[in-house]
Amino acid sequence: MIKKVLSIIAAVAIVAAVVLAAQVFFIVDEREQAIVTQFGGYLRTVDQPGLAVKAPFVQVVKRFDRRILVSDAPQAEYLTQDKKRLVADPVTRWRISDPLKFFKTVRDESGARARINDLVFSELRREVASYPFATVIGAKREPIMDSVATSVRAQAREFGIEVVDVRIKRADLPQEVQSSVFSRMQAEREREAKRYRSEGEEEAAKLRAETEKQRTIVLAEAEQMANKLRGEGDAAAARIYAEAYGRDPDFYSFVRSLQAYEQFVAKRSTLLLSADSALFRHLGQREPTSQDSPHRKQIGSTRIED
C-alpha cells in the first residue's frame, strides 16, 4: 500500500516537474525573437536563439518572426496627374526590427499588415498624382516606387517595422476602360498597317515601272543590234552574190537554180510547169563546146536527174 502511494506521489511529482519546466524554460528559434511580459508589462527582449528562462505562471512569452515578411495589398485605383485612373497592387517586404515597439503599436502581424497597407496606399497615391499615366507605367516606375519605399520606411519605424522594399506587381487600366483603350490601339495599328501597305504598293509600282523601262530599253537595243547585224549580213551576202555574178553569170544562175530545186523539188511539191520552163533549163543535157568555160564544161558533162 505504501509503495502504491509512493509511486503515485512520484508520478505526480514528475508531471509537476514537467509542467514547471515548461513554464520556466522556453526555446527561442533562430527564426524568432521574443519579449517577456509580466501581468501585461514589458520585462525584457530575447533576440538571441537558444534556451531562456522566465518566472512560471506569471510571466508570458510573446514570439515574433524575425524573417522578412510580405504584405500583399489588394488592388486599388489611383489617379494620375493627367486625370487617368490606374489600378495597381503594391507588394511590401518588411521585418520586425523592434519587438517591444511592434507589440505596443500593432500587437501582431495582421495589425502590422493593415498599417503598412494604409501607409503604402497613401504614399503611392501621392506619388502617382505627381506624374502622368505614361510615366507611371513606363520608365519612371522604379524611381516612383523607391520614393514610396523611402517615405513608408520612415513612417513604419514608429511601429518597430523596417520596410525593406515596396514594388508594384501590376499597373493597369480599370476593367471598364481597357476595352475602349484596346479598340483605340487596334484602330491605330490598323491605320499604321494600311499606311505601310500603301507605301509598299507604291514602291512596288515604282520598281515594276523601272523594270519595264529597262526591259523595253534592252529589247530595243537588242532589236537595233539584230537589225544592224542582219543588214550587215544582207549587205555581205549581196556583195558576195554580186561578185559571184560578175565573175560567171551562167554559173551563178546555175547555183541559184539548184537552190530553187532544193526549195521546191525536194519538198515533194506538185508543180505544173511547161516543158520549156526557165526553172528547168539546167536539167537538160548538152555537150560542152569549146566556148564554154571550165565551169560550164564540168557542169555540162554531169547528168542531173530529179
Q: Who has greater pLDDT, 132 or 95?
A: 95
Same domain for 35 and 120, yes or no, is no
Domain range for residue 50?
2-65
Q: Is residue 76 part of a domain?
A: yes
Same domain for 58 and 93, yes or no, is no
Q: Is residue 237 part of a domain?
A: no
Same domain for 46 and 99, yes or no, is no
**pLDDT value at 287 more than 60:** no
Nearest to 100 by CA among 71, 62, 154, 53: 62
**pLDDT value at 303 more than 50:** no
Same domain for 47 and 93, yes or no, is no
Q: How far apart are CA 256 and CA 282, in angstroms?
A: 11
The whole-number pLDDT of residue 213 equals 92
Q: What is the pLDDT of residues 39-88, one digit of tens each?
A: 888 999 999 999 999 998 889 999 999 999 999 988 888 988 888 888 89
Same domain for 125 and 73, yes or no, is yes
Q: What is the pLDDT of residues 169-218, one digit of tens each?
A: 888 777 666 676 677 788 888 999 999 999 999 999 999 999 999 999 99
The whole-number pLDDT of residue 300 equals 39
Averaged pLDDT score across all residues of the chain: 83
Q: How far apart are CA 260 and CA 111, in angstroms?
A: 121
Query: What total of structural domains would you count in the chain?
Result: 3
The pair phi, psi for residue 96, each rounded to 5°, is -85, 115
Q: Is residue 31 part of a domain?
A: yes
**pLDDT value at 286 more than 90:** no
Same domain for 46 and 80, yes or no, is no
Q: Is residue 190 part of a domain?
A: no
Confidence of residue 239 (pLDDT cuts 50, 70, 90): confident
Q: Is residue 219 part of a domain?
A: no
Distances (CA, A) of 296 to 225, 253, 261: 41, 12, 19
Q: What is the pLDDT of residues 245-261, one digit of tens each?
A: 777 777 777 777 777 76
Confidence of residue 275 (pLDDT cuts 50, 70, 90): low
Q: Is residue 274 part of a domain?
A: yes
The whole-number pLDDT of residue 298 equals 41
CATH number of the domain that residue 162 is part of? 3.30.479.30
Q: Is residue 236 part of a domain?
A: no
Same domain for 60 and 75, yes or no, is no
Q: Is residue 36 part of a domain?
A: yes
Question: The whole model's pTM is what?
Answer: 0.57
